[in-house]
Amino acid sequence: MKNRSEKDMIISRMNSVQATIGIIGLGYVGLPLALRYIQVGYKVLGLDIDPHKTRQLMSGKSYIRHIPEGLIAQGVAEGLLQATTDFSRAGEADALILCVPTPLDRHREPDLSFVVSSLEEILPHLRAAQVISLESTPYPGTTEEEIKTRLEKAGWTVGKDIFLVYSPEREDPGNPRYNTRSIPKICGGTTPACLEAGLALYGKVIDRLVPVSSTRTAEAVKLMENIFRSVNIALVNEMKIAFMKMDIDIFEVVRAASTKPFGFMPFYPGPGLGGHCIPIDPFYLTWKAREYDVATRFIELAGEINTSMPYFVVQRVMEVLNEQGKALKKSRIMLLGLAYKAGVDDDRESPTYKIMQILEDRGADVTYNDPFVPVIRPSREYAHFAGRKSMPVFGDYDLYILCTAHHQYNDIHPEMLGCPVLDTRGFFQDLPGKVFRA
């Protein structure tokens, strides 16, 4: 039976490590996944619209700080890794994994343009007996509504001659404890045959697979994980503001509460949400829920609290400057940390950008320091910041704002800076008159 043999052929090629794996999007998700396949012995074809990335990879170089170059160079030298901007080569791959961005547009509604455009690029070059896996974060129903319908319109029968799954990425850049291999992987198929093919796709490279009943369920799992974090971060951010009025240090409270061995999970406040998941994913669900006349008020309230935190930081800036007899306008302010979290060069959706924008709109002279982001890269929302360079920590400033708790700042003592520090992460020891919380 032809259809049966096509599925069996895919599974056989995956299980024998004879398959070629196509990775579309070679960023913080796609590149680690590509390298994991190489480690096992698969051939990987990386596809990306950015020629800088493909050139770097083919030169054996890494453009992401926490990803070492050794495995890249080895993969290229052994012929296991190829990277190209030529999407017409998609037919060479036995599986195509989409790891492209799913941001929000300027109306804070889902923007699936990268998913759709990537699919449109490969669609003319697909062949029978291929697996297509979406790893980007969408709203429930995206895999069927946006990908399956386009595949069927092109003449493919999903589950018969081509196999479609959704398997959400769970990367945590810079986390030394968990990596691509050790993080359990959710997988949902459009049909039972699709699920079998998807499990074979990931079976040799991930230690534990978690199959679920459908792609919609898998999509919902991803949203639940990140909405859970968003809501709890909003809670602790709101508690921080309340406790600050009571002269209580929220960071001390969280540390003490964390000693309870059951019924408590620590979350930490900050200047706002960053990264490509937590600030964005909740809005994918709230947008889709409106289609079903469901008001996700709890989730939306959490979003409002988290997106307001940069404004709270700026309010604290004005209060601290006022205590020093200075106005915000024309004040010289140094932002410590541009990446959205410590130890990485990932500045996607970083709240530091919003703080920088608000401060400059109000007349402040703002510079930044980040050991991992030497130059600001172009972005859609903050394109006007592109090209700015990280400046030395020590200088003639009126205020420092600690936005990201990079360990490189451990050697900085507030007494050395010559002006106050506004600490948004509970990083510095409390020194009255020198360190202020935000």
- pLDDT single digits (tens) 242-270: 999 999 999 999 999 999 999 999 999 99
Q: Provide CB contacts within 8 A for 104, sequence distance 6+.
A: 110, 111, 280, 283
d(CA 332, CA 401): 11
For 429, the 3-state DSSP assignment is: coil
How do residues 151-188 score in pLDDT, each as one tens digit? 999 999 999 999 999 999 998 887 888 999 999 999 99
Tokens 């289609």 — which residue? 291
The Cα 410–Cα 394 span in angstroms is 14
Residue 78 has pLDDT above 60, yes or no: yes
**Which DSSP string corresponds to 246-257?**
TT--HHHHHHHH
Same domain, 206 and 74: yes
The pLDDT score that the predictor gives to residue 66 is 86
The predicted model gives 5-29 an average pLDDT of 94
Q: Is residue 225 a part of any domain in this protein?
A: no
In whole angstroms, give the CA distance from residue 98 to residue 103: 15
Give the total residue count for the chain.
438
Side-chain half-sphere CA neighbours of 45 within 13 A: 17
The Cα–Cα gap between 323 and 254 comes to: 28
Percent of the chain with pLDDT over 90: 90
Helices (H), 261-329: 281-290, 297-323
Q: Domain for residue 416, yes or no?
A: yes
Nearest to 233, CA basis, from 135, 341, 106: 341
Q: Which amino acids are annotated catalytic?
A: 277
Q: What is the pLDDT of residue 4?
A: 57
Domain match, 175 and 48 both: yes
Confirm whether 232 is domain-assigned.
Answer: no
* 311 and 201 belong to one structural domain: no
The DSSP string of 49-102 is S-HHHHHHHHTT--SSTTS-HHHHHHHHHTT-EEEES-GGGGGG-SEEEE----
Q: How confident is the model at residue 278 (pLDDT cuts 50, 70, 90)?
A: confident
Whether 33 is in a domain gets the answer yes
The pLDDT assigned to 379 comes to 87
Q: Is residue 266 part of a domain?
A: no
Site of tokens 């400057």: 321
Q: Which of 39-43, 144-148, 280-284, 404-408 has the lowest mean pLDDT?
A: 280-284
Task: Tell me the C-alpha distance between 412 and 419, whole Å.
Answer: 13
Crossing angle of helices 297-323 and 215-245, in 10° steps, is: 30
Q: 127: closest CA among 153, 154, 98, 104?
A: 154
Spatial CA neighbour of 223 closest among 141, 293, 159: 141
| Average pLDDT of the residues in 131-143 | 97
Q: What is the pLDDT of residue 276?
A: 81
Chosen domain end from 164, 188, 218: 218
Containing structural domain, residue 410: 307-437
* Any domain includes 161: yes
Contact 307, 288 (CB under 8 A): no
Q: Which of 267, 395, 430, 396 is nearest to 422 (CA)?
A: 430
- 295 and 285 Cβ atoms separated by less than 8 Å: no
Interval 374-395 mean pLDDT = 94
pLDDT attached to residue 37: 98
Q: What is the CATH number of the domain that holds 173?
A: 3.40.50.720
Q: Is 217 exposed, middle or buried (0-12, 13-18, 19+ CB in 10 A)?
A: middle
pLDDT for residue 347 is more than 80: yes
For residue 398, pLDDT over 70 is answered with: yes
| Per-residue tokens: 166 | 């959704």
* Confidence band of 1 (pLDDT split at 50, 70, 90): very low
pLDDT score of 327:
97
| Token pair recorded at residue 348 | 């996607």
Residue at 378 is within a domain: yes
Domain end (from 171, 191, 218): 218
Total Cβ atoms within 10 A of residue 56:
18
**Residue found by looking up tokens 């290229």 in the block:** 76
User: CA geometry: angle at 17 spanning 160 and 164, to 5°?
Assistant: 25
Q: Which of 328, 401, 327 is nearest to 368 (CA)?
A: 401
DSSP classification of residue 20:
E
> Would residue 335 count as lying in a domain?
yes
Query: What amino acid is encoded at 5 in this protein?
Result: S
Q: How sure is the predictor about 3, in pLDDT bands with cuts at 50, 70 and 90? A: very low
Cα 364 to chain centroid, rounded? 30
Provide the number of structural domains found in the chain: 2
Given 183, 218, 253, which residue is the final one in a domain? 218
